[in-house]
Structure 1
Amino acid sequence: MVGGVALYILLFLTFGILKVSYWIFVYQDFVSPYRNLPAPKKRTFLMGAFVLYWKDNDWTAGARLARENQDVPFVRFPGPLGMDNLIPTSIAGLTEILNSKVYKFVKPQTVARGFRSVLGNGLFFAEGDDHRQQRKLITPSLSLAQVRGMIPIMTRNFLHAVEILDNGKQSGEEITMNAPDFLSRLTLDIVGETSFGVSMNALSDENNSIVAAYSAISNPVDTPLIFALNSFIPGFSTLPLAANRMIARNKKVVADFCEKIVLDKRDAFLREQMDAAKEGKKVDRNKRSPDVLSYFVRDESYEWSVNEITNQMMVFLVAGHETSATAMTWAFLRLCQHPELQERARKEIREHFPNGIADIQTQDDLDKLVFITHLTNEILRIHPPIPITVREAYEDTYVQGVKIKKGTIIHLVPPQLNRDKNLWGEDADEFNPDRWIGHKAEHAYAFMTFLNGTRICIGKRMAEFELRILLAGFLGRYKIEYLVPEQSLAMPTEFIITHRPKGNLNLKFTIVGDWK
Structure 2
Amino acid sequence: MSTTNILVGCAASTILISRYAHYSAITTFVLLTSLALTCKVLYHLILWPKFLSPTRHLPGPTNPSLLMGNFATVRKMQSGAAQAFWMRTIPNSGLLRYLGIFNMERVFPTTPEVLKEVLHTKSYSFVKPPLIAINIGSILGKKGLLFAEGEEHKAQRKLLLPAFSHAHIKGLVPGFWSKGVEMTEKVAEVVRSSRDGPGDGGEEGVVVQMGRWFSLVTLDIIGSCGFGYEFRALESASISGSSNIEDKSGSELADAYKAVFNTGGPSRMVAILSMIFPFRLVRLLPLKRTRDVDRASSTIRRVTAQIIAAKKSMLATSPEDSESGDILSIMLKSNAYTGPDGECSMRDQMMTFLAAGHETTATSMIWAIHVLSLPENRHMQSRLRAEIHAAFPSGLPTTVTYDQISNLRYLSQIMSEVLRLYPPVGATLRMAAEDTSLNGSFIPKGTTLMISPFAINRSVALWGADAEEFRPERWASKEDGAAAVESNYGFLTFLAGPRGCIGNMFAKMEFKCLLAVTIGRFEFSQDGKREVVVKGGAANKPQGGIPVSVNEVVWG
TM-score, normalization: structure 2?
0.82
**Equivalent position of 1:297 in the other structure:** 332
| Aligned-pair CA distance for 1:174 | 2.2
Equivalent-residue separation in structure 2 for 1:374 and 1:408 (angstroms) = 38
| Aligned-pair CA distance for 1:209 | 3.3
Equivalent-residue separation in structure 2 for 1:158 and 1:99 (angstroms) = 36
Q: Specify which of 481, 489, 494 is matched with residue 450 of structure 1.
A: 494
Instruction: Check whether the contact 1:269–1:297 (CA below 8 A) recurs between aligned residues.
Output: no
User: Residues 271 and 485 from structure 1, CA distance in 2 versus in 1: closer, same or farther, beyond 3 angstroms?
Assistant: closer
For 1:409-488, list aligned pairs within 5 A.
Answer: 409-439=448-478, 441-482=485-526, 486-488=529-531
Equivalent-residue separation in structure 2 for 1:415 and 1:74 (angstroms) = 16
For 1:141-180, list aligned pairs within 5 A.
Answer: 141-167=163-189, 169=191, 174-180=205-211
Which letter maps to 2:327?
Answer: V
**Is 1:495 aligned with 2:536?**
yes
Residues 289-344 of structure 1: per-residue CA shift (max 9 Å, x gap): x5322332334687693332221110111111111111111112211221010010
Q: Specify which of 266, 270, 287 is matched with residue 312 of structure 2.
A: 266
**Equivalent position of 1:279 in the other structure:** none
Which letter maps to 1:199?
Answer: E
Instruction: Check whether the contact 1:200–1:211 (CA below 8 A) recurs between aligned residues.
Output: no
| Aligned-pair CA distance for 1:75 | 1.0
Equivalent-residue separation in structure 2 for 1:504 and 1:144 (angstroms) = 33
| Aligned-pair CA distance for 1:373 | 0.4
| Aligned-pair CA distance for 1:237 | 5.7
**Equivalent position of 1:512 in the other structure:** 553
Secondary structure of 1:494's aligned partner = coil
Instruction: Check whether the contact 2:421–2:458 (CA below 8 A) recurs between aligned residues.
Output: yes
Instruction: Check whether the contact 1:52–1:59 (CA below 8 A) recurs between aligned residues.
Output: no
**Equivalent position of 1:350 in the other structure:** 389
| Aligned-pair CA distance for 1:169 | 4.4
Equivalent-residue separation in structure 1 for 2:545 and 2:251 (angstroms) = 20
Equivalent-residue separation in structure 2 for 1:212 and 1:284 (angstroms) = 31
**Equivalent position of 1:184 in the other structure:** 215
Tell me whether 152-161 or 113-122 shows the greater mean CA deviation.
Answer: 113-122
User: Residues 485 and 271 from structure 1, CA distance in 2 versus in 1: closer, same or farther, beyond 3 angstroms?
Assistant: closer
User: Residues 269 and 402 from structure 1, CA distance in 2 versus in 1: closer, same or farther, beyond 3 angstroms?
Assistant: same
Structure 1: 5+ residue stretches without partners? 274-282
Instruction: Check whether the contact 2:227–2:329 (CA below 8 A) recurs between aligned residues.
Output: yes
| Aligned-pair CA distance for 1:351 | 0.6
Equivalent-residue separation in structure 2 for 1:418 and 1:507 (angstroms) = 26
Residues 102-121 of structure 1: per-residue CA shift (max 9 Å, x gap): 11100001111111133222
Residues 138-184 of structure 1: per-residue CA shift (max 9 Å, x gap): 11111111212221111111111112112174696722222333322
For 1:237-248, list aligned pairs within 5 A.
Answer: 239=284, 241=286, 243=288, 244-248=290-294
| Aligned-pair CA distance for 1:466 | 1.2
**Equivalent position of 1:406 in the other structure:** 445
**Equivalent position of 2:3 in the other structure:** none
**Is 1:318 aligned with 2:363?**
no
Equivalent-residue separation in structure 1 for 2:514 and 2:418 (angstroms) = 13
**Equivalent position of 2:243 in the other structure:** none
Equivalent-residue separation in structure 1 for 2:28 and 2:94 (angstroms) = 48
Secondary structure of 1:76's aligned partner = strand
User: Residues 32 and 248 from structure 1, CA distance in 2 versus in 1: closer, same or farther, beyond 3 angstroms?
Assistant: same
Give me the CA root mean square deviation: 2.8
**Equivalent position of 1:89 in the other structure:** 110
| Aligned-pair CA distance for 1:37 | 1.4
| Aligned-pair CA distance for 1:12 | 5.6
**Equivalent position of 1:233 in the other structure:** 278
Structure 2: 5+ residue stretches without partners? 1-22, 193-201, 238-248, 479-483
Secondary structure of 1:126's aligned partner = coil
| Aligned-pair CA distance for 1:505 | 2.9
Secondary structure of 1:480's aligned partner = strand
**Equivalent position of 1:195 in the other structure:** 226
**Equivalent position of 2:409 in the other structure:** 370
TM-score, normalization: structure 1?
0.88
Which letter maps to 1:160?
Answer: E
**Is 1:61 aligned with 2:107?**
no
Equivalent-residue separation in structure 1 for 2:541 and 2:190 (angstroms) = 30
Equivalent-residue separation in structure 1 for 2:207 and 2:545 (angstroms) = 12
Instruction: Check whether the contact 1:326–1:385 (CA below 8 A) recurs between aligned residues.
Output: yes
Instruction: Check whether the contact 2:84–2:459 (CA below 8 A) recurs between aligned residues.
Output: no
Secondary structure of 2:50's aligned partner = helix
Instruction: Check whether the contact 1:269–1:298 (CA below 8 A) recurs between aligned residues.
Output: no
Equivalent-residue separation in structure 1 for 2:77 and 2:317 (angstroms) = 58
| Aligned-pair CA distance for 1:349 | 0.3
Equivalent-residue separation in structure 2 for 1:389 and 1:85 (angstroms) = 11
Secondary structure of 1:445's aligned partner = coil
Equivalent-residue separation in structure 2 for 1:168 and 1:223 (angstroms) = 32
Equivalent-residue separation in structure 1 for 2:333 and 2:204 (angstroms) = 48
**Equivalent position of 2:162 in the other structure:** 140
**Is 1:129 aligned with 2:142?**
no
